[in-house]
Amino acid sequence: MTMAPSPLPAPNRRPVFGAGFRLGRTAVALVVIAFVVVAALLAPWVAPFDPLYGDGALRRLPPGTEGHLLGLDAQGRDVLSRLLWGARPSLIAGIVPVAAALAISLVLGLLAGYTSSFLGGLIMRVIDALFAFPMILFAIATVSLLGPGLTTIIVTITISLVPYMTRIVYGAVVGEIGKGYLETARLLGASRSRILFKELLPNVVSPSIVYATTLIGPMIGFSSGLSFLGLGIQPPNADWGRMTVEGVEVFAQGAPHVVLAAGIAIIVTSLAFNWLGSGLRDILDPQQG
């Protein structure tokens, strides 16, 4: 079998930047992520306006309009307020499915790597079959079952990530098998569940978390894409993808600020999570460099 077809940027095998630069970058990433998370949590208090209230007289006004730092959208709603509120679904869509897929994959990967070869083979063949589905088809399938919305985004991304993550966990488990400590535990009469969850799991968790972190950024982008297509967050609420769609109206009228604000928020946040991921790899999984 070939390697998994990844929709995601693979880790750079050969580091580009020196250790000092990477450490600094990780620190910047942490600050950015902390800022976005706090902004999302505090949105009801820090957002200057109601994100759903539109003032017809102020439609499409550019950034810097009095009281509206980032300007107003096609319906006269404050862009900064919508950006802050939009951070909530965007972060949830990036983090929740990755965490859920991580939990599912840890169980599947451990079972596949360290139980009967029949069960293991079965799990991995099903995983292989799931690779045949492009992620967007999961989205279409989920939408036709559940209708559009945040739940659809979460379910879609979780299902599509499980194959990729299970491969990673499975690889890590297979790499651990045959190491002394497992053999020792087995000879000491440890039960299978003890070996699986007390011995193997801790050693498999850190590469899995590193991989999971690198998925958050791309998934924030992907989920905003789903909202952009109309499969995700529904109006009048908005994540950053939905804001981009709504920005397209004013975009055509020569006011690009809504699209720019939403896009820059997506790029900066995803980049921060990507940098955090490579920083974590440096710390937790140094031999992967």
Partner 1 sequence: MIAFFLRRLTAAILVLAAVTFVVFLIVYLSPGDPVKTLLGQSATAEQIADMRARLGLDLPFHEQYGAWLWRVVHGDFGRSISTQVPAMSILLPAFGNTLILALSSLFLSLLFGVAIGVTSGFRAGRLLDKVLMFITEVLAATPVFWLGLILIWIFARELGWLPSSGMRNMRARGSNLDLLAHLVLPSIAASVLAISIIARLVRGAVIDVLASDYVKIAQAAGMSSFRIFRKQVWRNILPPIVSVGGLQFGTLFGGVIFVEAVFAWPGISAQLFNAITAGDVAVIQAGVLMIATTFVAINLVVDMVLVWLNPRRAL
279 binds partner 1 (CB under 8 A): no
- Of residues 211 and 222, the one with the C-beta less far from partner 1: 222
* Cβ 116 to partner 1 shortest distance, Å: 21
* Cβ 262 to partner 1 shortest distance, Å: 8
Nearest to 238 by CA among 70, 85, 111, 112: 85
Sole residue written with tokens 């969850």? 197
232 binds partner 1 (CB under 8 A): no
* Spatial distance between the Cα atoms of 130 and 166, rounded to a whole number of angstroms: 11
What Cα–Cα distance (Å) separates residue 153 from each residue in 92, 96, 134, 230, 261? 10, 10, 15, 11, 22
- Of residues 70 and 200, the one with the C-beta less far from partner 1: 70
Draw the binding track, 113-142, toward partner 1 (x: CB under 8 A; -: no contact): ---------------xx-xxxxxxx--xx-
Among 9, 48, 121, 175, binds partner 1 (CB under 8 A): 9
- Encode 58-79: b = buried (16+ Cβ within 10 Å), e = exposed: bbbbebeeeebebbbbbbbbbb
Q: Helices in 131-256 by DSSP H: which ranges?
A: 135-146, 150-176, 180-187, 192-194, 201-229, 240-252
Q: Which residues bind partner 1 (CB under 8 A)?
A: 2-3, 5-7, 9-10, 12-14, 16-17, 128-129, 131-137, 140-141, 143-145, 147, 217-218, 221-222, 224-225, 228-230, 241, 244, 248, 251-252, 256, 259, 262-263, 266-267, 270-271, 274
